[in-house]
Structure formats: C-alpha cells, structure tokens
Amino acid sequence: METVFSRADARAYDRLCMDAQGLPGIALMERAAQGCARASMEMLGRPPSRVLVVAGAGQNGGDGYAVATLLRQAGHRVAVRAVGEPRAGSDAATMRARAVAAGVPIAPFAPQEAIDADLIVDALFGTGLDRPVAGEPRAAIEWMNAHGAPVLSIDLPSGMDCDTGEPLPVCVRAARTVTMVARKLGFDRPAARPFLGLVEVVPIGGPDPGRISRS
C-alpha cells in the first residue's frame, strides 16, 4: 500500500530523520534539492536554459536556493527572486549563502518585473502552509501562474493545503510536482488535480516512510 503523508506526518518524518537517525536538516535539504534539480533538468534539456527560482523564507525556499546552485553548476542561467529572507542561522540561510557563492543572482521579488524564463521553480511554500495566502506571497503565486513558462513545484504547489488539496485561496498551477518521501494527503482530492501536474515522489535518504502512521 502506498504511503501518504499528512502535514503532521511530514513533520514527524523530518523529526525521525534528524532525532532518531541523526541526519542533519541540511543533508535532507541537499538530497531533496538533488531530486528536484534532476527533474528540472529533464524538463529543460541540455544547458544553457533560463531558470527562475521563486524562493520563500522557509525550508521550501532553502530547497529552492539549493536547486538554484545545482542548476547553475550544471550550466544553466539561473536567477532567484526572494519573497522574504531566511532566518539567520537556518538551513535555508546556509543554502542562500551557497547560492550567492555559486554566482546565482538573487533579488527581491517584484510583481511588475518581466523576466524571461524557460522554467520556473516554485519554492515559495511547503507542507506547513495552513492559512490563507495574502500580500506579496499571493502576488508571487499569481505572477508565476501568469508568466507562461512551465512551473516545477517543490514538495507541493505553493498555496495548496497539504491535507485537503484546496487552494488557500490561490495556488500555483504546476506542470510538475516533485514531492519528498511520500505523496501528500491532499493530492488525491478533486480540488488538487488542476494544480499538481505530473507528480514524482523522491526519497531523501531517510528511513522507511511506512514507519510514520498517517494522522
């Protein structure tokens, strides 16, 4: 039987990896980014292509910065537009610093900016989102949907409720969703179908996800 994670399950799995297995959070982020970068390159083909990463301030944004670094190292032309700044000392801040060191240009998101891109990587929100999206994050979601380039979403399309599949109240329309460890509970709900695109589950090197009981 396929393992499916709720929001609480995803958090519990991260704790299991870090506390019981001794895997640092930065290592989990690196492994998630490797899967997302591989999927991105499958969509892009041979470099150089133009990639825009829209990164939030949390762990999902950290994944995005890590993907940006890997794609830059693979020869693609990558830029990041940041919606907020990672907390100092966080794994996401470490990944942002690595992206800067790799030569990835990073600037604040500006909804009026026109950016050419062959692929957009959505790294705005992850499974923890449980409230309506407003302000600059909502503008970023609407901007991605209006752009015209295909979108690869990390873990789930930003703006989707992990447990219900409902938009909150807006959601990225992804061409491809690369989700970590297990499908999310909301993915099989009718509300989620217009937003997910092709769903791929990638491992992050942790224990058997079946050890987590679905909430």
**Segment 36-48, tens digit of pLDDT:** 999 999 999 889 9
pLDDT given for residue 31 in this prediction:
94
pLDDT given for residue 18 in this prediction:
86
**Segment 136-159, tens digit of pLDDT:** 999 999 999 999 999 999 999 999
Q: How many domains does the chain have?
A: 1
Look up tokens 């039987």; give the residue. 1
Tell me how far apart the alpha carbons of residues 165 and 193 are, in angstroms, rounded to a whole number: 8
CATH number at residue 159: 3.40.50.10260
pLDDT band, very low/low/confident/very high, at 23 (cuts 50, 70, 90): confident
**Segment 43-82, tens digit of pLDDT:** 998 899 999 999 999 999 999 999 999 999 999 999 999 9
**Which H or E run contains 11?**
helix 7-15
Give the predicted TM-score (pTM) of the model. 0.96
pLDDT band, very low/low/confident/very high, at 21 (cuts 50, 70, 90): confident
> Which residue segment(s) compose the domain that 118 sits in?
4-205
Q: Is residue 59 part of a domain?
A: yes
Residue 151 tokens read as 């979108």
Q: Does the bond joining 105 to the residue before it have cis omega, within 30 degrees of 0?
A: no
Q: Is residue 212 part of a domain?
A: no
Q: Is residue 22 part of a domain?
A: yes
Strands, sheet with 50-55, edge to edge from the N-terminal-most edge strand: 106-108, 77-82, 50-55, 119-123, 151-154, 176-180, 198-202
